[in-house]
Amino acid sequence: MLDGHWHSQCPECSIGDFELGRLAADQELICDLCLEEEGRLILLQRWPADEQTSAYALLRPGLAA
């Protein structure tokens, strides 16, 4: 995916695309908030931003269709 967009959430501070108001681009791999405030490189948890897959279904693998 060269121009894809991803849902994302930081496992440390829990900020995600909902709070930021935008999806993450392919090149966004680390949490900007943790980097700026704490100087830490935290890898984002990311999943595809398609209409078929809801965030709730991703958290409950048995529900993903």
How confident is the model at residue 6, as a pLDDT?
A: 92
The Cα–Cα gap between 48 and 37 comes to 27
Structural domain spans, the chain = 5-51
Identify which of 64, 1, 15 has the alpha carbon closest to the alpha carbon of residue 44. Answer: 15
Return the percentage of the chain with pLDDT > 90, whole number.
63
- Convert the pLDDT of each residue in 31-53 to its tens digit: 999 999 999 999 999 998 875 55
pLDDT at 50: 76
pLDDT for res 49: 84
Q: How many CB atoms lie within 10 A of CB 44?
A: 21
**Whole-prediction pTM:** 0.69
Instruction: Report the alpha-carbon distance of residue 6 to residue 16 in Å, rounded.
Output: 10
Q: How far apart are CA 23 and CA 62, in angstroms?
A: 25
Residue 43 carries which DSSP code?
Answer: B
